[in-house]
């Protein structure tokens, strides 16, 4: 996933210089000789902090809970959490520090796909187990890496199938950010649409600096599609969600977004996005005992007035707990043994539902939900269980060929 922080975009360049050169250490017994060293790399500041901050917070919450319950194998966790400041040089520098100086047994992190591809080879070479927990375009096939977040088949697949059926969709007009995520996801959407009796009448791609969508809205009005699907990201692209209702289109044609979450919703007026649908593993409005307990813990740590959190926080939280289960299953920290344990299909029932490691792809099979914005809230309108990463499994088989460390285009 690639995106631009709407609130800190103008401060990104100056903020990078303020990135901490030393990590925050989170442990009950800092410096204990028998502590397990683990690492985290997230954009808590800079252009991607709107996403990275909740991921960093989620890892810290999970580690605190684990330590409070006695740790892992009777040992406390030392979390070396670096703020990368949305800077690729910082990612490379801090990743190297984690494997050489901190001797981390596992690292959780990376927000954008670009940051993932900077650090993934470092961890592969050093044989340091790596978890990437951001929804993305799919296709990573790496024996050393595990992706505990949504791929297009999971975010887009069930939602589009439901929308086509319920709204009798035959024609779909699509718009995407002009980079890797947009191109791959648009191809996947076209395949899904055809399988369910619909067609794409347009695929438009917009650079991240585009702010005026009036011409595209006119094209949509002329095309008269049954559904509009947006894969627009970036601070400038937020303008589309304001110009759409201003053109009198709100409610006239259903609007679905593949990347819209609380990060965007909180920057718009409720009336601007009424009726918009989107789909992820998790929304804060999921009604379950597990989610209520999680939100109570989150509020206790980060305050009752904390910003609305989304799937990025929960996927990060789940990943730490899935790693913990693998360590406890094998009884030590040997990387190869942990990979083998994870490939047995370890599951975790988190606040968004069940998440299970898929041995073939090292991705997650997960529950997903679709939500519709109503009065400024994500109201759940569809639920799915055990949704596989079909896009990535079509190109990646780490059981048949374990010696892989690449990213395919699904």
For the stretch 266-290, pLDDT in tens is: 889 999 999 999 999 999 999 999 9
Residue 281: inside a domain, yes or no?
no
Percent of the chain with pLDDT over 90: 83
The bridge status of strand 405-407 relative to strand 171-177 is unpaired
Query: Structurally, how many domains does the chain consist of?
Result: 2
Candidates 404, 409, 410; CA nearest to 142 is 404
Same domain, 76 and 27: yes
Residues 106 and 203 in one domain: no
Per the CB < 8 A criterion, the answer to whether 389 and 151 are in contact is yes
Burial of 48 (0-12, 13-18, 19+ CB in 10 A): buried
- Contact in structure between 116 and 123 (CB atoms under 8 Å): no
**Do the beta carbons of residue 354 and residue 388 sit within 8 Å?**
no
- Is 170 in the same domain as 252? yes
**272 occurs within a structural domain:** no
Helix and strand numbers, DSSP H then E, in the chain = 14, 17
Closest CA to 311 of 293, 346, 285: 285
Q: What is the mean pLDDT of residues 35-58?
A: 94
pLDDT of res. 33: 58
Q: What is the pLDDT of residues 212-231, one digit of tens each?
A: 999 999 999 999 999 999 99
Q: Is the pTM of this model over 0.85?
A: yes
Same domain, 336 and 207: no
Residue 266 domain-assigned (yes or no) = no
Q: Are residues 351 and 249 both part of a single domain?
A: no
How far apart CA 253 and CA 230 sit, in angstroms, is 13
CB 46 within 8 A of CB 84: yes
State which residues form the domain around 211.
Answer: 157-257
Confidence of residue 10 (pLDDT cuts 50, 70, 90): very low
Cα distance between residue 365 and residue 19, in whole Å: 35
Do residue 147 and residue 293 come from a single domain? yes
Q: Does 244 lie in the same domain as 138?
A: no
State the pLDDT confidence band at 7, using cuts at 50, 70 and 90: very low
- Where does the pLDDT of residue 22 fall: very low under 50, low under 70, confident under 90, or very high at 90 and above? very low
Kindly state whether residue 1 falls inside one of the protein's structural domains: no
CATH of residue 99's domain is: 3.40.50.2300
In a domain, 383, yes or no: no
- Strands, E, within 50-116: which ranges? 77-83, 106-109
Q: What is the pLDDT of residues 141-158, one digit of tens each?
A: 999 999 999 999 999 999
My answer on whether 295 and 146 are in the same domain is yes
Q: Identify whether residues 211 and 298 lie together within a single domain.
A: no
Q: What is the pLDDT of residue 2?
A: 46
Asked whether residue 58 is assigned to any structural domain, the reply reads yes
Judged on CB neighbours under 10 Å (0-12, 13-18, 19+), 278 is buried
For residue 16, pLDDT beyond 70: no
Are residues 28 and 127 located together in one domain of the fold?
Answer: yes
Does residue 381 sit within a domain? no
- Asked if residue 131 and residue 161 are part of one domain, the reply reads no
The CA-based angle 144-358-195, given to 5 degrees, is 120
Residue 188 lies in a domain: yes
Say yes or no to pLDDT of 32 above 70. no
Same domain, residue pair 19 and 102: yes
């Amino acid at each position: 996933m690639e995106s631009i922080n709407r609130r800190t975009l103008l401060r990104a360049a100056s903020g990078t210089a303020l990135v901490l050169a030393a990590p925050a250490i989170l442990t009950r017994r800092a410096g204990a000789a028998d502590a397990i060293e683990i690492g985290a790399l997230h954009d808590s500041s800079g252009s991607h902090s709107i996403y990275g901050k909740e991921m960093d917070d989620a890892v810290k919450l999970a580690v605190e809970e684990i330590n409070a319950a006695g740790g892992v194998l009777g040992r406390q966790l030392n979390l070396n959490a670096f703020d990368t400041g949305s800077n690729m040089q910082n990612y490379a520098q801090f990743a190297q520090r984690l494997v050489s100086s901190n001797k981390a047994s596992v690292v959780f992190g990376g927000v954008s796909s670009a940051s993932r591809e900077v650090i993934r080879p470092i961890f592969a070479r050093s044989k340091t187990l790596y978890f990437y927990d951001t929804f993305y375009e799919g296709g990573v096939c790496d024996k050393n890496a595990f992706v505990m977040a949504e791929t297009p088949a999971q975010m887009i697949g069930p939602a589009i199938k439901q929308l086509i059926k319920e709204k009798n969709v035959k024609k779909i007009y699509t718009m995407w950010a002009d980079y890797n995520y947009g191109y791959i996801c648009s191809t996947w959407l076209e395949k899904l649409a055809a399988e369910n009796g619909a067609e794409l009448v347009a695929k438009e791609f917009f650079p991240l600096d585009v702010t005026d969508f009036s011409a595209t809205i006119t094209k949509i009005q002329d095309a008269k599609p049954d559904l509009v699907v947006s894969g627009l990201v970036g601070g400038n692209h937020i303008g589309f969600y304001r110009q759409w209702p201003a053109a009198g289109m709100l409610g006239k044609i259903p609007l679905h977004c593949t990347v819209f979450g609380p990060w965007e919703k909180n920057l718009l007026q409720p009336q601007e996005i009424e009726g918009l649908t989107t789909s992820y593993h998790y929304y804060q409005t999921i009604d379950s005992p597990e989610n209520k307990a999680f939100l109570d813990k989150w509020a206790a740590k980060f305050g009752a007035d904390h910003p609305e959190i989304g799937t990025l926080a929960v996927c990060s939280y789940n990943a730490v707990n899935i790693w913990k289960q693998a360590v406890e299953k094998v009884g030590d920290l040997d990387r190869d043994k942990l990979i083998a344990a994870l490939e047995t299909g370890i599951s975790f029932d988190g606040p968004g539902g069940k998440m299970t490691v898929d041995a073939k792809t090292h991705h997650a099979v997960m529950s997903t939900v679709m939500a519709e914005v109503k009065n400024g809230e994500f109201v759940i309108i569809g639920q799915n269980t055990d949704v596989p990463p079909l896009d990535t499994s079509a190109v990646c088989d780490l059981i048949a060929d374990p010696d892989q460390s690449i990213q395919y285009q699904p």
